[in-house]
Structure 1
Amino acid sequence: MSFGFKPVHIPPDGGISVFLVGDTYTVLLNAAETGGNLSMVEAIVPAKAGPPMHTHHQEAESFIVMDGELVINAENEEYEVSAGGVVYVPKGTSHKFRNRSDTKPAKMILLFTPGGMDGRTRARRRLWRARGRSRS
């Protein structure tokens, strides 16, 4: 029983990419495709880069590191995470992450629950583009 939703397949080169604060975020699954249950985003973080401290008030965020090493700060904790590691950050928790490498990008999958962050990312891209700040 599918409750009106169909399986979704995203090929390796699929998804919609946006560029924010130097990182590349590719939306793999959006809230509309998952009935609002989750959004899935691939993040490519350049060497020594990452976003500033921020808080998601409407969704939790799970980080699954696929390649490279990151430092993830959540509240007063710091986690050094390598490929295969996972960090869960509850909604309302201030957090940031940074690629530890001096030369190589890091890759991770972000799961937002419930879904919806994908829509805010596209809206943010439109706003930055209107202000002349986006590369996409």
Structure 2
Amino acid sequence: MPVLGPGEGPRLTALGSTYTTKAAGDVSAGAYWLVEEEFWADTTPLHTHTAAEEAFYVLSGEVTAWMDGAETLLRPGAFLLVPRGTPHALRRVSDDAVRMLTLVTPAGLEEFFAAVVREGEEALLADPDRLVELAASYGTEIVGEYPAG
């Protein structure tokens, strides 16, 4: 059984978050990807995962989640489960990064973020159609911007 201390684990930064992987698909036999996420962007786009559930447990900071047509404030200790196929987005409301324990099941979404790093985030942001295409190839459909209140 692998043991990782605070801050340990493979790390990558992409699209407004830094992900410290605690268990990827290669360790969980594809069952899940578990990361400590530092979300420092203003928002994520509204998106859905076609073949995965995503869960967030807020460790520090404050974030709002847009899901099911409503915005909910999440503070430390809050838990959010996003069923597969559910459009959702996050917006950071605290000054500092939001730290969350993020679980995606089954594993695989970590490969999308690794692909963003490989292809170059700046190039992908300059070509939104390519970013949408890349996301779709990993089971994520980008629906639009974070909904305006």
Give your verdict on TM over 0.5.
yes
* Other-structure match for 2:53: 60
Residue pairs, 1:1-136, within 5 angstroms: 7-46=1-40, 49-101=42-94, 103-128=95-120, 131=123
Task: Give the CA deviation at 1:62.
Answer: 0.3
Which portions of structure 1, spanning 4 or more consecutive aligned residues, are displaced by more than 4 angstroms? none
Task: Give the CA deviation at 1:129.
Answer: 5.3
Task: Give the CA deviation at 1:128.
Answer: 2.0
Q: Is the 8 A contact 1:23 1:49 kept in 2?
A: no
Task: Give the CA deviation at 1:120.
Answer: 2.2
**Cα deviation digits, residues 27-76 of structure 1 (max 9, x gap):** 22101101111111111122x72311111112100010000111011231
User: For 1:54, what is the secondary structure of its paired residue?
Assistant: strand
Q: Structure 1's 15 and 50: CA in aligned 2 closer, same or farther, altered over 3 A? A: farther
Instruction: Name the Cα RMSD after superposition.
Output: 2.0
Q: Is the 8 A contact 2:116 2:124 kept in 1?
A: no
Task: Supply the AA of the counterpart residue of 2:109.
Answer: M
* Other-structure match for 2:142: none
Q: Aligned equivalents of 1:88 and 1:13: distance in 2?
A: 24
* Other-structure match for 1:4: none
Question: What is the TM-score when the length of structure 2 is the normalising length?
Answer: 0.75
User: For 1:15, what is the secondary structure of its paired residue?
Assistant: coil
For these two proteins, the number of residue pairs brought into alignment is: 125
Q: Aligned equivalents of 2:92 and 2:122: distance in 1?
A: 28
Q: Structure 1's 49 and 32: CA in aligned 2 closer, same or farther, altered over 3 A? A: same
Q: Is the 8 A contact 2:7 2:20 kept in 1?
A: no
Question: What is the TM-score when the length of structure 1 is the normalising length?
Answer: 0.81
Consecutive unaligned residues in structure 2, runs of 5 or more: 126-149
Task: Supply the AA of the counterpart residue of 2:68.
Answer: E
Q: Using the TM superposition, name which of 113-122 and 90-99 deviates more.
A: 113-122
Q: Aligned equivalents of 1:132 and 1:30: distance in 2?
A: 24
Q: Using the TM superposition, name which of 122-131 and 79-88 deviates more.
A: 122-131
Consecutive unaligned residues in structure 1, runs of 5 or more: 1-6
